[in-house]
Amino acid sequence: MNRNYFALIMAGGIGSRFWPVSRTNYPKQFIDFFGVGKTLIQSTYERFKAVCPPENIFIVTNELYSDLIKEQIPEISDNQILAEPMMRNTAPCIAYGCMKIREINPDAAVVVAPSDHTIADPAGFVAAIEQSLKAASENNCLITLGIKPSRPDTGYGYIQYNEHTLQSDPDIHKVKTFTEKPNLELARSFIQSGDFLWNAGIFIWSARTILSAFEQHLPDMHEIFTSGRSAYNTQQEKEFIGNAYQQCTNISIDFGVMEKADNVYVLPAEFGWNDLGTWASIYDMADKDYVGNAVIPGEHVMMFDSSNCMVNVPKDKLVILQGMHDYIVVESNNTLLICPRDQEQSVKQIVNDVKARFGTRFI
């Protein structure tokens, strides 16, 4: 196993689209949605243990969740948990993580990935990551993984690539454009063109290359995190990061770096990827009965003249659905949500409205 390979897992989100199961104090990455005995973050951590040594896996999260991470991944050290004092999107957390890793190993190649994805083919995933890490170690490039699309999905970002490839690896193509969640007509045209991929939000680069990109495209942020080089991996790190985050703008790595850099490449890949962005993605992956109903994990759910529904309720709760078609029914934490499946994108706004009316009691 290559000791220059590192993983940075992003686990700071609150998962509001999975409310009411996902709450601010216990968000989706710490939940076992499918009853497999592992939460999303535990599964992600296990996947990366096949890529790099366990001591090279770092998790960046909100400081509220540090104890949850220690509880779910007891083998991880305090120095491997990067506690953010506030939410500032993905660019600051990646700058922080890659700066910290570079101080440990200047030759580091780093894979950055969310904690809440599911992967049906772990071996295929590991192979794609290792191929990308090798290329990133040998070339001055920023690599992202692109998933070969199976449908014109409007919930994903898209990556267009061209015929130019890395000289050392003809599988890795030069990125032409990034497009955020298109409308259905545009998504269909992307699929027909054959040169578009879903943006998985998984990045691979050397620590040197990404920090050089920060210096070029987000110089203020680069200066903020560079000023504390002597504090990384010491007792002074927490205090320094607390001050640094107050100075950072709220910006994504996609908008701040990837869409601006001219050395961005993509590896087209297929390994059963799902980003679990909404309840619909849970429904898509769940086992269903002959009329399309998915029940997770309730054991006392009865359906009458109902189809294509997803039900997620406590095991001891008796639930009867009569004449319900294409609905999401979720109960957790003294909250019941009933929502048409084609309107589940509105859950995030519902959460905001609940917070405005009742405060944080149900959030």
Per-residue pLDDT tens, the chain, 363 aa: give them.
899 999 999 998 888 889 999 998 999 999 998 878 899 999 999 999 999 999 999 999 999 999 999 999 999 999 999 999 999 999 999 999 999 999 999 999 999 999 999 999 999 999 999 999 999 999 999 999 999 988 888 888 999 999 999 999 999 999 999 998 888 888 898 888 888 999 999 999 999 999 999 999 999 999 999 999 999 999 999 999 999 999 999 999 999 999 999 999 999 999 999 888 888 888 888 889 999 999 987 689 999 999 999 999 988 889 999 999 999 999 998 899 999 998 887 888 899 999 999 998 888
Domains detected in the chain:
5-274 (3.90.550.10), 279-358 (no CATH)
Peptide bond into 20 cis (omega under 30): yes
The beta-strand segments (E) located in the chain are 5-10, 57-62, 81-84, 109-114, 118-119, 142-147, 158-166, 169-179, 196-206, 264-269, 273-274, 294-295, 301-304, 310-312, 319-322, 327-332, 335-340
DSSP states of 278-337: SHHHHHHHS---TTS-EE-S-SSEEEES-BS-EEE--TT--EEEES-BSEEEEEETTEEE
Dihedral angle, C-alpha 61, 67, 72, 74, nearest 10 °: 110
**pLDDT at position 152, please?**
84
**pLDDT at position 342, please?**
86
